[in-house]
A and B are shown apart, each in its own frame.
Chain A
Amino acid sequence: MTTIFYAEPELVLGHGRKVLFLNPNDLQIFKDIELPADLTTCGLKIAAGETNEEQQQPVGSEKAAAAGTNLEVSIVNVSYSPDRQLIALTTAGQKALLLYKSRPEHAKLLSVRALARASSSLAFAPDSSSVLVTDKTGDCYRYDCVELEAPPQLLLGHLSIVYDILWTPDQKYIITCDRDDKIRVTNYPATYDIHSYCLGHKEFVSGLALLTGTEHLVSASGDKTLRVWNYLSGKQLLQHELPAPAVRLQLRQLLPAKRFQVAVLFYDHVEALGLYELALDEQSNDAWTIARQQLVRAEAGSWNISCFALTADSIYVAGALDERLTLRVYNSSDGEQAKTVPTGWLDMVTERFADQTCVPEDLSVWFKKRYDNVSDYMERKKRRIEDHQQQQQQQKS
């Protein structure tokens, strides 16, 4: 899986076994992380035949554990702690959470802890003291970042995969969204106590972002809507129709508590991305509108886009072309290819990933299979009733 995000002034790009930290302004590479092909060499302990009750044991798990060293390592999520001291990354294949010290050294490995399942999302606490990891079964674990060897704490569980997770800045709530259309606001640290739900989406919710300075949240979904909520009351404040299902969401603050740029990646659409400017109405404190919108074609269809990052005036888009990682840049203002970033530099960056294949992820599985197991039964029942009534008629005559 590929991951890219902007943590000013660094653009972070992760794929396969490498993470690059780039400066798009002066086209330098700050630092990089390269994982070994076998994480046990840097301290990962793979427990053979785990007996944790929360885990589902596939039949071949013993074989897999023994052959754990043969699994390919590939980076899934990367995140910077808010204080920029730490970098967290999670891997699939050999499933692990790695923590690095970001300053002053060049990404020094601090700890490697095994994950029960590959992560689906990752988030640092606002005070950088811990990191939350969610997985495809909907479980959410807290890993301590001060006690680096501390085992994970299971905080809460959804019944389907959790696509995004975040903390509120006061650390009083954790907000999660899943494939069952739900956005859940849970108390922290009393995570057994659910505060509220933001209900209304009709398909998976793929991304969440806090509108900092307010009690509001923006979400994007496979139901082709972008919605704004008051997460404390669960009330929906705005619903904006999108041209296609949204599979990723990124946010940039333009004016604290007043204006935000929201960008979404579309699934299977002629335009790859939609940029929307959310503005809070002057008079009220919960009336949001879409002040501006810009669609970015990004040559959708000719390559397989997986993720993107927003900088002050550009969008960096990463994806696969001919099974190789490809990076392109577009202007936020007009959606055209950015002239400011030389393609030579982009090629140089992606060249660093040339030895790792880049296979696009199939997102069609995110959509729920809604099959009708009622109509057949009702049809047969109706026919039974009709046959019975016919027989009654015949017997009467």
Chain B
Amino acid sequence: MVTNSQEGETLPATSSVTGLPQKRFYRQRAHSNPIADHSFDYPARPEDVDWRSLYPNIGSEQQVEFADIGCGYGGFLVTLGEMFPDKLAIGMEIRVKVSDYVIDRIAALRMKNAETSAYQNIACIRTNAMKYLPNYFQKSQLEKMFFLYPDPHFKRAKHKWRIINQALLSEYAYVLRSGGLVYTMTDVEDLHKWIVSHMTQHPLYERLTDEEANADPITPKLYQSSEEGAKVVRNKGDHFLAIFRRI
């Protein structure tokens, strides 16, 4: 066991080199049943959420505007926080260990960067985004929503578990403001076609043109900064991107 050179509190699953939590202590299987009752505590309404406990420096009128749905191990969320230091971004993850990893990661990053107060604008909550988005966000609150490498749930019986489906698109449109953007990325072509088909059919979304998508500074980050994305690049897989605007 390597002795930690740092004094004071360190999390045991923390690397002595980087001071950040190590993923191997937080592994959990990728698939999860979102329909079953997973969360046992969630707010009844957005007004009941204690945002200050997640964002210590939150301004009195400030609200979360970016949401990474199924943020996994938080790679993209961290990038988002760095790109937009004045915006509050939240990661939502249903898996207990994985969300805990992200929470620990953010805490470690904040501690390491205490002088610059960086990473105070990102947070992660363990919750079922398919059921509880309206519990956390008011109507038209969000500016951007991210669905990066969502679980494809291949079997037809499980299609209702897919995070993008006709019924849920209406709920996402409710929390997203007019002009807001939905970013979707996957390496499964079948899922990409499903997403594009459903979102195109839904009257409240229109797809961005390739020019518009490429002009967005976030687009290049979608490929690499999430752990799933980096894995796809390593395995030389395909990336399928679709960005939609909420009308």
Give the CA-CA distance A196 to B161 in the complex, in Å. 24
Quote the shortest CB–CB distance from B104 to chain A (angstroms). 9
> Could you say which residues of chain B place their CB within 8 Å of the CB of A158?
167
Q: Check if A192 sits within 8 Å of B37, measured CB to CB.
A: no
B230 CB within 8 Å of chain A: no
Which chain B residue has the least Cβ–Cβ distance from A182? B134
Give the CA-CA distance A224 to B4 in the complex, in Å. 53
With A156-B170, A194-B170 given, is the CB distance from A368 to B203 under 8 Å? no
**Quick one: which of A157, A200, A373, A385 contacts B167, CB cutoff 8 A?**
A157
Interface set, chain A 179-233, CB cutoff 8 A to B:
180-182, 186, 190-194, 196-197, 199-202
> Could you say which residues of chain A place their CB within 8 Å of the CB of B166?
154, 157
Q: Check if A159 sits within 8 Å of B44, measured CB to CB.
A: no
Q: Check if B40 sits within 8 Å of A372, measured CB to CB.
A: yes
CB 8 Å contact bits of B152-195 with A (1 = contact, 0 = none): 00001101100001111111011000000000000000000000
Q: What is the interface size of chain A, counting residues whose CB is below 8 A from a CB of the partner?
A: 45
Q: Check if B100 sits within 8 Å of A56, measured CB to CB.
A: no
Give the CA-CA distance A191 to B173 in the complex, in Å. 12
Give the CA-CA distance A192 to B167 in the complex, in Å. 8
Interface of A is mostly: loop
Q: Check if A201 sits within 8 Å of B44, measured CB to CB.
A: yes
CB 8 Å contact bits of A33-65 with B (1 = contact, 0 = none): 000000000000000000001101100000000
Give the CA-CA distance A192 to B49 in the complex, in Å. 27
Which chain A residue has the least Cβ–Cβ distance from B104? A381
Q: Check if B100 sits within 8 Å of A377, measured CB to CB.
A: yes
A284 CB within 8 Å of chain B: no
Q: Check if B100 sits within 8 Å of A199, measured CB to CB.
A: no
Q: Check if B173 sits within 8 Å of A193, measured CB to CB.
A: yes
> Could you say which residues of chain B place their CB within 8 Å of the CB of A387?
12
A172 CB within 8 Å of chain B: no
A289 CB within 8 Å of chain B: no
- How many B residues are at the interface, by size bracket? 35 or more
CB 8 Å contact bits of B93-112 with A (1 = contact, 0 = none): 00011001000000000000
Give the CA-CA distance A391 to B198 in the complex, in Å. 55
**Quick one: which of A53, A159, A194, A372 contacts B156, CB cutoff 8 A?**
A53
Give the CA-CA distance A197 to B174 in the complex, in Å. 10
> Could you say which residues of chain A place their CB within 8 Å of the CB of B134?
182, 197, 199
A348 CB within 8 Å of chain B: no
Which chain A residue has the least Cβ–Cβ distance from B35? A159
Q: Check if A193 sits within 8 Å of B170, measured CB to CB.
A: yes
B130 CB within 8 Å of chain A: yes
Give the CA-CA distance A387 to B130 in the complex, in Å. 37
B233 CB within 8 Å of chain A: no
Q: Check if B173 sits within 8 Å of A377, measured CB to CB.
A: no
**Quick one: which of A57, A190, A369 contacts B157, CB cutoff 8 A?**
A57
Quote the shortest CB–CB distance from A394 to chain B (angstroms). 10
CB 8 Å contact bits of B12-33 with A (1 = contact, 0 = none): 1100000000000100000000
With A53-B159, A138-B167 given, is the CB distance from A159 to B100 under 8 Å? no
Give the CA-CA distance A57 to B158 in the complex, in Å. 9
> Could you say which residues of chain B place their CB within 8 Å of the CB of A191?
170
Quote the shortest CB–CB distance from A156 to chain B (angstroms). 6
Interface set, chain B 48-74, CB cutoff 8 A to A:
none
A240 CB within 8 Å of chain B: no
Give the CA-CA distance A372 to B37 in the complex, in Å. 10
> Could you say which residues of chain A place their CB within 8 Å of the CB of B40?
370-374
Which chain A residue has the least Cβ–Cβ distance from B46? A199
**Quick one: which of B12, B139, B170, B173 contacts A384, CB cutoff 8 A?**
B12
Q: Check if A180 sits within 8 Å of B131, measured CB to CB.
A: yes
With A156-B167, A372-B40, A373-B40 given, is the CB distance from A193 to B204 under 8 Å? yes
**Quick one: which of A160, A369, A374 contacts B96, CB cutoff 8 A?**
A374
Q: Check if A192 sits within 8 Å of B96, measured CB to CB.
A: no
Q: Check if A199 sits within 8 Å of B44, measured CB to CB.
A: yes
A392 CB within 8 Å of chain B: yes
Quote the shortest CB–CB distance from B128 to chain A (angstroms). 9
Q: A residues near B, CB below 8 A? A: 53-54, 56-57, 137-139, 154, 156-160, 180-182, 186, 190-194, 196-197, 199-202, 368-374, 377, 381, 384-385, 387-389, 391-392, 395
- Additional pairs, 10, CB under 8 Å, beyond known A181-B44, A385-B11: A57-B156, A137-B160, A138-B167, A192-B203, A194-B171, A368-B37, A371-B40, A372-B40, A384-B12, A389-B12
A-B contact pairs, 5 of them (CB 8 A): A157-B165, A157-B168, A159-B35, A193-B173, A193-B204
Q: B residues near A, CB below 8 A? A: 1, 3-4, 11-13, 25, 35, 37-38, 40, 44-46, 96-97, 100, 126, 130-131, 134-135, 139, 156-157, 159-160, 165-171, 173-174, 202-204
Q: Which 8 A-B pairs have the closest CB atoms?
A: A157-B167, A388-B12, A199-B45, A194-B174, A370-B40, A368-B37, A192-B170, A197-B134
